[in-house]
């Protein structure tokens, strides 16, 4: 009986840990609310060159139901915020698209690229 309990406990722990990284489909605003630390930034140039930079400066964002705040050192900028999956609207302008979301990770693609040199700008965040 003890062996069965150990096996069941191990299965429950494994299921619990794996569910943290399950992708969230049809995200709602409450899935985004929280503090997200920047992990990396990836830029793809028009010639296909890709550069990934690991974040080291403690940059993060704070999302509430109505605001999107970027924090970079002592600099903090707050925007009115709306979410219409997959679009994140700051000041009613589509700034980011949600590319991937789990309970612990969020990947956003920037819509503010000029298209002359940069074709894609992606930010990966980890939930605090």
pLDDT at 94: 83
Closest CA to 108 of 61, 48, 49, 57: 61
pLDDT at 90: 92
Blockwise average pLDDT, block size 10, the chain, 128 residues? 55 51 88 96 85 90 96 93 92 90 95 67 94
pLDDT at 45: 82
pLDDT at 80: 96
Tokens of 79: 């925007």
HSE-up (13 A, CA, CB side) for residue 87: 11
pLDDT at 109: 94
Q: What is the pLDDT of residues 43-79, one digit of tens each?
A: 888 788 889 999 888 899 999 999 999 999 889 999 9
Cα angle at 51 between 97 and 91, to 5 degrees?
Answer: 25
- Average per-residue pLDDT for the chain: 84
């Amino acid at each position: 009986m003890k062996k069965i309990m150990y096996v069941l406990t191990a299965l429950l722990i494994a299921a619990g840990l794996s569910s943290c990284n399950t992708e969230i489909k049809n995200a709602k605003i409450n899935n985004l609310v929280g503090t997200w630390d920047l992990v990396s930034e990836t830029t793809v140039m028009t010639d296909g060159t890709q550069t990934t930079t690991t974040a080291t400066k403690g940059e993060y964002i704070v999302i509430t139901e109505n605001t999107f705040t970027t924090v970079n050192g002592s600099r903090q900028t707050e925007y009115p915020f709306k979410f219409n999956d997959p679009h994140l609207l700051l000041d009613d302008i589509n700034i980011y698209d949600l590319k991937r979301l789990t309970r612990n990770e969020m990947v956003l693609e920037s819509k503010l690229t000029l298209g002359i040199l940069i074709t894609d700008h992606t930010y990966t965040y980890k939930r605090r």
